[in-house]
Structure 1
Amino acid sequence: MTQIQLIVYATDFSEGSAHAAELASQLTRLHGARLHLLHVITELHDRQWRGIPGGLMEELAREIKTQAITDMHGFAQRFFGNFEGELTTDVVIGPAAEEILAQAEALGANLIVMGTHGRSGVEKLLVGSTTERLIRKSMIPVLTVPERG
């Protein structure tokens, strides 16, 4: 059995991610593992932004990433303020499933934890599912945690 030494917890900062944050924290403590919090900014990767001039897009990306880093610090403080282990954070831009997997592989993670929103029907078809794409592509185990309603 693989020993869990590093858990990547991917979050979108939503209220529904609280249960997944709690489980990621508990698993990290139980295994004496390190925890890496990851947020992926997906909106700047969308095709609709292609018509915006490069300089303006770069400035917008910097501003959005700066705000996301601030949000990450607040999220980490709120949900992991009393965390006693090794905790790192990162904010990246790109397609969510691909970036989560790339970060987890680069860090040598043994487990990926993420919350799910429980979309179904037309919404799922239109929005797609980051979780499903990640599970299909990942060789690293993925623990999905449903959002509490």
Structure 2
Amino acid sequence: MVDIKKILCPVDFSETSRFALRYAIDFARVFDAELEIFHVIFDETQIVAFYLPQVTFQNFDKELEEAAKKEMDKLIDDFSALNEIKYSTKFAKGTPFLEIINEAKENKFDMIVIGTHGRSGLEHVLFGSTAEKVVRKSPCPVFSVRLKEHKFVMP
């Protein structure tokens, strides 16, 4: 049997990532694994500064971080099942798929549980798919979850 002791669950606070978190919690419970809930603050300041060089970003970063921490606190409050497992939260700043891959490699995670929005067409071309990039580059197995497509029943 595969030994799963560390699970990484990236969240963007969407309904899809909340759905994926339910799976991550269940996997952590079944395998008695540690769960890290990981949020990447997308560094949009580089893009905006390129187009609007006159805009200052002194407080912008701080406001993004504070908003992310508030959302994480709400997320944790909504999942009472977290009290039954070992978990931690962590934040990073950068490009989501790169930060997720780096976190998985650096901290030797055994599994990533990630939600996928299932974008297609122009939206997929413009925004890409973080989950797809994570699946392709991950150093460990990735369990991707689409919102309410199929409910997986834990043994």
TM-score, normalization: structure 1?
Answer: 0.88
The amino acid across from 1:74 in the alignment is: K
The question of whether the paired residues in 1 share the 8 Å contact of 2:10 and 2:17 is answered with no
Aligned match of 1:95: 95
Equivalent runs, 1:106-117 vs 2, <5 Å: 106-117=106-117
SS at match of 2:84: coil
For residues 91-125 of structure 1, give each alpha carbon's deviation from its aligned partner in whole angstroms, at most 9, with x where no partner exists: 21110000011112222210011101011111101
Structure 1 contact 44–93 (Cα < 8 Å) conserved: no
Q: Which runs of 5+ in 2 are unaligned?
A: 150-155
Q: Which runs of 4+ in 1 moved over 4 A?
A: 51-54
Q: In the alignment, is residue 5 of structure 1 matched against residue 32 of structure 2?
A: no
Residue 29 of structure 1 corresponds to which residue in structure 2? 29
Distance 1:112 1:89 in 2: 14
Once the two structures are superposed, residues 60-98 of structure 1 have per-residue CA deviations (whole angstroms, 9 ceiling, x without a partner) of: 111111110111111112124553221100121110000
Structure 2: distance between partners of 1:39 and 1:46: 19
Aligned pair in 2 of structure 1 residues 38, 45: CA closer, same or farther (>3 Å)?
farther
Aligned length: 148
Q: Distance in 2 between matches of 1:92 and 1:37?
A: 11
Within 5 A, what are the aligned runs for 1:48-127?
A: 48-50=48-50, 51-52=52-53, 56-80=56-80, 82-127=82-127
Contact 1:45 1:94 in 2 (8 A): no
How big is the shift at 1:49?
3.0
Deviates more, 1:58-67 or 1:75-84: 75-84
Moved more, 135-144 or 20-29: 135-144
1:27 partner letter: F
2:132 & 2:95 partners in 1: Cα distance?
A: 13
User: In the alignment, residue 10 of structure 2 is paired with which amino acid?
Assistant: A
SS at match of 1:83: helix
Q: Which residue identity is paired with 1:3? A: D
Query: What stretches of structure 1 of length at least 5 have no aligned partner?
Result: none
Structure-1 separation of matches of 2:84 and 2:60: 35
Q: CA RMSD in A?
A: 2.0
Q: CA deviation at 1:44?
A: 2.5
* Distance of 2:58 and 2:88 partners within structure 1: 25
Structure 2 vs 1, CA of residues 53 and 105 (structure 1 numbering), >3 Å: closer, same or farther?
A: farther
